[in-house]
């Protein structure tokens, strides 16, 4: 291993092992990440909201650079609030933001004990649902399309034409699938990473241990490799 990777490896190990669970290891996007949060990135750990939201923040930050699609990411509490209250309950979440000025909207979704991702591509007028356990999310796509219609009407006074939109739950042959009960959060983060670079999703479950360690370094340094 070259010296850079050796230094990275020792930093990652130290993040897991040296210090107390309450130690703050990173702070950005109005979030603080503690050692306890970082430890969810250990093998077979189940990623928590703080890690998911911090990583989405890093993707949005990167999208401000030239050559990347403009990305907006909702936080992990958005969809559960939307599905229980409709547009009324979340309309303040986009105060001062026109989500329609972006290319891609990421919606990480927490389904009790499973993470999935919904992606709105405003350029293509598509809403796609990514689930690494292969479950369909057609009703989730419809809920978000209805939200977009109401948001557009309320914020821009523009009617969206629902019939122009394509809604699609990605099939098990289209995207990689997890082979354990704990990697769903990492899959969601990496689906979002590849999509927010307009790259085809070509990773496999075998990449998960590497992705977990890489994410530790990226979160601590607030910088995507």
159-186, pLDDT tens digit by residue?
999 999 999 999 999 999 999 999 999 9
> Whose CA is closest to 63, among 18, 104, 8, 118?
104
> Whose CA is closest to 199, among 207, 190, 208?
190
CB 28 within 8 A of CB 54: yes
Q: Which two tokens stand for residue 156?
A: 């821009």
d(CA 71, CA 38): 24
Give the pLDDT band of residue 1 (cuts 50, 70, 90): low
CB 99 within 8 A of CB 72: yes
Predicted confidence at residue 120, as pLDDT, reads 98
Residue 39 falls in the annotated catalytic set: no
Strands 71-73 and 31-34: unpaired
Predicted confidence at residue 33, as pLDDT, reads 95
Catalytic residue among 110, 184, 189, 193: 184
What is the CATH architecture assignment of 3-221?
Answer: 3-Layer(aba) Sandwich (3.40)
Give the pLDDT band of residue 57 (cuts 50, 70, 90): very high
> Whose CA is closest to 70, among 97, 52, 30?
97
- Ranges of each domain in the chain: 3-221
Residue 114 falls in the annotated catalytic set: yes
Beta-bridge partners for 104: 71, 121
Q: Residue 130 burial (CB < 10 Å; 0-12/13-18/19+)? A: buried
Q: How much of the chain exceeds pLDDT 90, in percent?
A: 86
Average pLDDT, the chain: 94
Predicted confidence at residue 72, as pLDDT, reads 97
pLDDT digits (tens, 9 = 90+) for 70-123: 999 999 999 999 999 989 899 999 998 999 999 999 999 999 899 999 999 999
pLDDT at residue 3 is higher than 80: no
d(CA 100, CA 117): 19
Catalytic residue among 39, 103, 114, 168: 114
Catalytic residue among 37, 102, 110, 131: 131
Give the pLDDT band of residue 18 (cuts 50, 70, 90): confident
**Phi, psi (rounded to 5 degrees) for 136:** -85, 145
Per-residue pLDDT, averaged over 182-202, amounts to 97
């Amino acid at each position: 291993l070259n010296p850079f990777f050796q230094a990275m490896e020792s930093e990652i190990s130290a993040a897991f092992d040296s210090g107390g669970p309450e130690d703050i290891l990173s702070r950005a996007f109005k979030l603080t990440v503690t050692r306890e949060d970082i430890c969810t990135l250990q093998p077979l750990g189940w990623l928590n909201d703080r890690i998911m939201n911090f990583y989405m923040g890093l993707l949005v930050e990167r999208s401000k650079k030239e050559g990347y699609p403009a990305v907006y990411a909702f936080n992990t509490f958005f969809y559960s609030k939307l599905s229980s209250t409709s547009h009324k309950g979340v309309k303040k979440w986009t105060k001062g933001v026109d989500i329609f000025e972006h290319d891609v909207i990421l919606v990480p979704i927490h389904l009790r004990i499973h993470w999935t991702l919904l992606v709105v591509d405003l350029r293509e007028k598509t809403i796609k649902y990514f689930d690494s356990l292969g479950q369909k999310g057609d009703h989730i796509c419809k809920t978000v399309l209805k939200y977009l219609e109401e948001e557009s009407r309320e914020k821009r006074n523009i009617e969206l034409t629902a019939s122009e939109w394509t809604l699609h739950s990605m099939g098990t042959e289209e995207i990689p699938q997890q082979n354990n009960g704990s990697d769903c959060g990492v899959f969601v983060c990496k689906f979002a990473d590849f999509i927010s670079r307009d790259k085809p999703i070509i990773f496999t479950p075998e990449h998960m241990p590497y992705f977990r360690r890489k994410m530790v370094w990226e979160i601590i340094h607030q910088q995507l490799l």
